[in-house]
Amino acid sequence: MADDDVFWLEDPTGIADFRRWDGSGWTTEVLVDGVEGEAAPAGDEPPPELTDHGREILHQVQHAAGLAPSARGTPRFDDLRIVVVNHRARWIASQSHYDLMDDRGLRHAVATRRGANEARARIRYNTVLDYYLRLTLDVERVDGEAIASIERRRWFNSVALYLRRPDGSELATITQRKATLPRRFDVTVGGAPAAEIIAADKAAKRITITAADGRPLGRVIKPPVPTGQGVMTSAQRFVVERTGVPGSDLDLVVGLTPLVLDLALASTYSYEVERDLKHDPARRALR
């Protein structure tokens, strides 16, 4: 049985929350409230309908990130405990945007650059001017309802990101406290310390978010880019596990952390690292 074909999926019998599908049939392994156990066979229940995209997302969440599936019945972005952020980049078109999805690949929200155009995009991608230019991302649900905006500002070797609600009020401010590894970012809400974001490695493959009182709020894992991503169109993918209070301001910050860190780290790489990364169009698209 190939590991790539084994997934936790909704239990078709309704006995448990999730049941393992081994690629050819349902097993007796089940999950109930996040606890593994055994249950009666599923019998002749039909196999799940998985698109290639959904299968790829499931594989990255359950195998590369090592996470159990998110709870069923979470139609809104605010309620998702697992958020998959896909940064798609078209190098020739000088365009990129972010899809925010659940762990089945269903898109819940998108993030796009405000005021981006072809000429400005090409300047950003092919020079270091992006280091000194203000950049804003608008995040909205797929139905067009605004969620938040993220504005990046940079002064010399420091970077700050301002997260705002749709009405323009402050959601949070994130500033880089430590540029060397592990990189540390302070999250403040209303001027008071609220959380800390730590990126342990240069490529930000593993990120932890902790509240000021020490409570874990979530983590971000960056699985390997799938083999076969083309040179002209490529992607980065981040898997976010949120463990805070659903619907809270900090929970929203955790869900947007990949976007925040992408913007922050893209503006703080040294020229040497940038040269090393030029062969990777997914990283070039961050400029």
Whole-number pLDDT of residue 139: 96
What is the model's pLDDT at position 194?
97
Neighbours of 69 (CB within 10 A): 21
Mean per-residue pLDDT for 53-75?
A: 84
Residue 216 pLDDT: 97
Residue 233 has pLDDT above 50, yes or no: no
pLDDT over 60 at 51, yes or no = yes
Q: Rounded to 5 degrees, what are φ and ψ at 226? A: -55, 140
pTM higher than 0.85 for the full model?
no
| Range with the largest mean pLDDT of 63-67, 76-80, 108-112, 204-208 | 108-112
- Percent residues over pLDDT 90 in the chain: 46
Would you place residue 117 in the very low, low, confident or very high pLDDT band (cuts 50, 70, 90)? low
Dump pLDDT digits (tens) for 248-267.
999 999 999 999 988 887 64
Query: pLDDT averaged over the chain?
Result: 81
The pLDDT of residue 39: 95
Please tell me the predicted confidence (pLDDT) of residue 287.
35
Distance CA 216, CA 254 (A): 11
Highest mean pLDDT among 113-117, 126-130, 228-232: 113-117
> pLDDT tens-digit profile of 159-193?
899 999 999 999 999 999 887 889 999 999 989 99
3-class secondary structure, 182: coil
Are 125 and 287 a contacting pair, CB within 8 Å? yes
Helix/strand/coil for 242:
strand
d(CA 205, CA 189): 26
Region 71-95 average pLDDT: 74
Which of 95-104, 235-244, 254-263 has the weakest average pLDDT?
95-104
> Which residues 6+ apart lie within 8 Å of 256 measured at CB?
139, 148, 150, 163
**Beta carbons of 116 and 138 less than 8 angstroms apart:** no
| DSSP code at position 170 | E
Please give the distance of CA 104 from its chain centroid, rounded to a whole number.
14
Domains of the chain, first to last: 3-49 (no CATH), 77-284 (2.40.160.200)
Residue 18 has pLDDT above 50, yes or no: yes
Q: How far apart are CA 189 and CA 247, in angstroms?
A: 16
